Amino acid sequence: AADLNGKAIKGKILETMDAAGYTYLQLDSNQGRVWVAIPRTKVTKGQEVTAAPGMIMSDFQSKTLKKTFDVIIFSPGLAGSKKGAVPGHKAAGGMGAGSSFDAALQAESGGVNPHAGGMMGGSMGGASAAQQSGGSSTAIVPAAEITVDKAPGKNGHTVADCFTSAKELNNQTVQVRGKVMKVSKMIMGKNWVHLQDGTGNPMKNTHDLVVTTMAAPAKGSVIIIEGTLHADKDFGAGYRYDAIIEDAVVK
């Protein structure tokens, strides 16, 4: 799946089906047989198409199709297919600030956003109270009753610090010590790790910090990570973080 990261997928449609506002395609591509999901678009079996680069998801469960995809790419759409987009759905070629595709994706996965960090606070004007919070919402890891000492040194911060001081720490290198609560592997070419240290406010979802890294720490382990904190990080399609640490290394 890593070979597909950030690349357009070109191939012939072997199988296609519509579900919950978007279209699933199995493509016979240079990378092998690949499943791709796009905003609902009229296509036919045997058609040659090119899907824009998208997010790679592992073990995605479609409740409508009653099928689990080992690997599937969620693409903004097909190249040059705006005319083929179904009325009422976002035209292929960009998810834009609206999140009709994102909403369909969440509905299809049973309300759990497959993206490691979930939908973040303030991503949409009509976001729920949970989504307006600082940390993960739909993919939040419940608060654990733990106490972990803050990482040492001037760059050491707690999970709560990363949210409350996000603007001041934006684009700065930080260190955080925390317990690994969840690891989602190889999404957009990175491992997405949820860290908690006992700080933060569970009511505002600021107790759970998402870190992207090439490392693969064990769930339940206590680690110190060092990476670049980004405040108000928006990946598009409604995926937004009040605070996230990217390209981290385990110390």
- The confidence score (pLDDT) of residue 140 equals 66
Task: For residues 126-149, give the mean pLDDT.
Answer: 57
Q: Which fold has domain 156-250?
A: OB fold (Dihydrolipoamide Acetyltransferase, E2P) (2.40.50)
Predicted confidence band of residue 18 (pLDDT cuts 50, 70, 90): confident
* Residue 114 contacts residue 121 (beta carbons within 8 Å): no
- The confidence score (pLDDT) of residue 80 equals 67
Task: For residues 171-195, give the mean pLDDT.
Answer: 90
Instruction: Give 212 or 2, the one with higher predicted confidence.
Output: 212
Same fold flag, 2-108 and 156-250? yes
For the cut 70, the answer to whether the pLDDT of residue 231 exceeds it is: yes
For the cut 50, the answer to whether the pLDDT of residue 201 exceeds it is: yes
Cα-to-chain-centroid distance, residue 153: 31
Q: Among 84-98, 147-161, 167-181, 193-207, whose mean pLDDT is lowest?
A: 84-98
- The confidence score (pLDDT) of residue 139 equals 59
For residue 27, which of 6, 2, 8, 55 has the smallest C-alpha distance? Answer: 8
Q: Among 123-132, 142-151, 152-161, 181-190, whose mean pLDDT is lowest?
A: 123-132
* Strand intervals (E) in 64-145: 67-74
For the cut 90, the answer to whether the pLDDT of residue 53 exceeds it is: no
Task: For residues 2-12, give the mean pLDDT.
Answer: 73
Render the burial of 10-30: b for 16+ CB within 10 Å, e for the rest.
ebebeebeebbbbbbbbbebe
Q: Which residues contact 93 (CB under 8 A, 6 or more apart)?
A: 52, 76, 77, 78, 79, 81, 82
Domain boundaries, the chain: 2-108, 156-250
Sign of CA dihedral 43, 45, 50, 56: positive
Q: Pick from 28-37, 63-72, 182-191, 208-217 the range whose average pLDDT is largest.
A: 208-217
Measured in residues, the chain has a length of 251
Q: How does the average pLDDT of the chain come out, rounded?
A: 76
Q: What are phi and psi of 103, to 5 degrees?
A: -65, -40
- Report the C-alpha gap between 132 and 119 in whole angstroms: 9
Confidence (pTM): 0.52
* CATH of region 2-108, choose from 3.30.200, 2.40.50, 3.10.310, 2.40.160: 2.40.50
The amino acid occupying position 52 is: A
